[in-house]
Amino acid sequence: MVEDPVGVEAALMAAGAAAQNGANLVEWRVDPLCEDEAGFCACRTLIEQSPLPCILTCRIQEEGGQAFGIEPDRPGLFRSLVTAGVVPRYVDVESAAWRSDRELRIAAGELLGAGECGLILSSHDFEGRPADLARQLDVMWAEDDVSIVKMAWRARSIRDSLEAFDLVEDAGGPMIAICMDRFGVMTRVLTGKFGGLLTFASPGSDQETAPGQLSLQQLRDTYRFDAITSSTRVFGVLGDPVEHSRSPLLHNTGFSHVGFDGVMVPMPVVDGWESFKASLACMLDHETLNLSGLAVTTPHKEHLARFVEEVGGTLTPMVHRCGAANTLAVLPDGSLVADNTDTEGVLAPLRGVMPIKDSKIALLGAGGAARGAAIGLLMEGAEVVVFNRSEDRAMELVKDVKSRMDDAVSIEYQSGGPQADEGFDAVINMTTLGMEGGPGPDRSPLDELGGSLDVLSDTVVVFDAVYAPLQTPLIKQACDRGAKVLTGDAMFLAQAARQFRTWTGQDAPMDAWASLMR
C-alpha cells in the first residue's frame, strides 16, 4: 500500500528487499493516489522503477479499498499511464466495476492495448461467501479481455478453504482464489498445491492489505511455500485458537531437515462436536488435499478420540485410558489412528528434575490436557490435587479419571488455589491462562484460583504447559520466588517429537527445534 507520493521511495525499497527474499511479483496498492496528477505521477514512478513485474491495483472502498473518502479517478490514472507509455504487467479491476462503469472499461481497454498488460478481474466479499459465487465466476470467465480471475471472500470455516481449492482445480484458466481471515490462512499457503496462480504476502508484519495475509518471511521460512507441490502431504494444527501455535514452524522445519514432503498449516475450528466433525470429515473426504495428520489442541481433544472411534479407527491404549487424543495419523489406506502424546510430554520433563513417585502435585485445570497429565502422574505413583475455576468440571474430571484407572489412586478436587502449607512438590498449569492469543494472556492461573504465591518456594517445581510465550505470568512469579521452573517448550518438544515420528517414521531434529523455541 502506498498512501502518499512521499512514500514511493520507501515502497520501492521494500519491494526490492522482497525481490531479494524470493518474491516474484509486486502488487502496488495505490487506492489513495488515484485522485490528482501528483498521485498519477507517483504511480508512474512505481511502475517504471519496480524491481519486479507488477500488478497495479486501485481498489474501490466497497471491496476493501482505502481511498480516503474520495472516489478514485481510475480512468484518469489509466489514461495518464497510456500517455506516458508506462504499463504494468497486470491491472486489477473489480468485476462489478468493469461491468457497470463504461468510462473505466474504455480507459482500462486503452491500457490493455498499450503494451503487455493483462487484466485481473476480481471480486471481494468481506462479509462471507457470496451467495452467487458460481454466477460471479461465470460472468468473469465470460469476459473476452480477462487474463486472470480472482475471487476472495471472508471464510466462515475451513470448509470455505476447501471450496476455494476446488474452484482453482476446476478453473478454466489462470485463477487466484483466497479465503480471508483466520479460517482462510491455509488457502494462502496451499494454493500452489491445487494450481493457483499465486498467493499474496505482505512485505513485513503489520503491513497486511487483507485479513489473514501472511508475511513473505512467514510464507517462505515457516511454511516453505516454494517447496509445496501437488504431491505434498498436508498436516494441520487444529483447535481454537491456533493462530499463535508454534507447531507449523516446528514441524515444517523438521520436514525440511529430514527431507519429508509435507507441510503443516493452522486449521482453526470453533468449539463444538458438530463443527469439529463436519470440518474433519470434509478434509478427509477431499482427496487432493491429502490430509495426512493433525496435531489437535484445545478444545477438540475429546472430539478427536470420539470421531476416530465412531468411524472405526484405532485408538492407542493411552487414548482409551485418557478419553482424549491430540494426534491423528491418516494411514495410506485411509484408516485413522488417534494417539495421545500429551501425557509423555508432561512426564518426560518432570522425570528429569524430580522423583514423581510419592510426590504431591497441584494440577491447575480440568480440560483434556489436564486429564492426560493426571492419568500419567497417577500411573507413576503421584498424588494429584485438581484446582479449577469450575468446580463441576473439576469434579467430573476427578470422577472420570478414577473410573479409568485399574487400581485405587489418590486424586481429589480442592476449591480455591494451592496453598503453601499443603506440601506440594510441584505445581503444573494445564490451563490456557498466560497464553499469547488466549483468553487471559496477562493472567496467572495461580492468581485466578486464589492460590498463595508462597507455594512457589525453592523446593517446588513449577511446570507451565503454555509455551507461547515461554515467560508466562506464572513462570515469572515462580522465578521471582526461587522455584524450579519447567517452561512450556519442554512439554511441547517432548510431545511433538512423538508426533513427528508417528507421521514421518523419523526422529525429530531436537537441536534445531530447541533453537527455534529459544
Active site residue ranges: 301
429 forms beta bridges with 364, 464
Task: Give CA–CA dist 287/289, Å, rounded.
Answer: 5
88 touches 122 (CB < 8 A): no
470 touches 494 (CB < 8 A): no
All three cell numbers of 132: 452467487
All three cell numbers of 149: 480471475
DSSP secondary structure string for all residues of 374-424? HHHHHHTT-EEEEE-S-HHHHHHHHHHHHHH-SS---EEE-SS---GGG--
Task: Give CA–CA dist 428/4, Å, rounded.
Answer: 53
For residue 81, which of 68, 91, 92 has the smallest C-alpha distance? 91
173 touches 121 (CB < 8 A): no
DSSP β-ladder status, 90-94 and 118-125: parallel
Task: Give CA–CA dist 364/434, Å, rounded.
Answer: 13
Torsion sign, CA atoms 69, 74, 76, 80 = positive
For residue 81, which of 50, 37, 145 has the smallest C-alpha distance? 37
Task: Give CA–CA dist 269/277, Å, rounded.
Answer: 10
Q: How many residues does the chain have?
A: 518
DSSP β-ladder status, 262-268 and 233-239: parallel
For the CA atoms of 335, 337, 338, 342, the dihedral, rounded to the nearest 10 degrees, stands at -150
Task: Give CA–CA dist 154/124, Å, rounded.
Answer: 8
302 forms beta bridges with none
Cell 465470460 belongs to which residue?
A: 142
178 touches 253 (CB < 8 A): no
User: CB neighbours (10 Å) of residue 378?
Assistant: 22
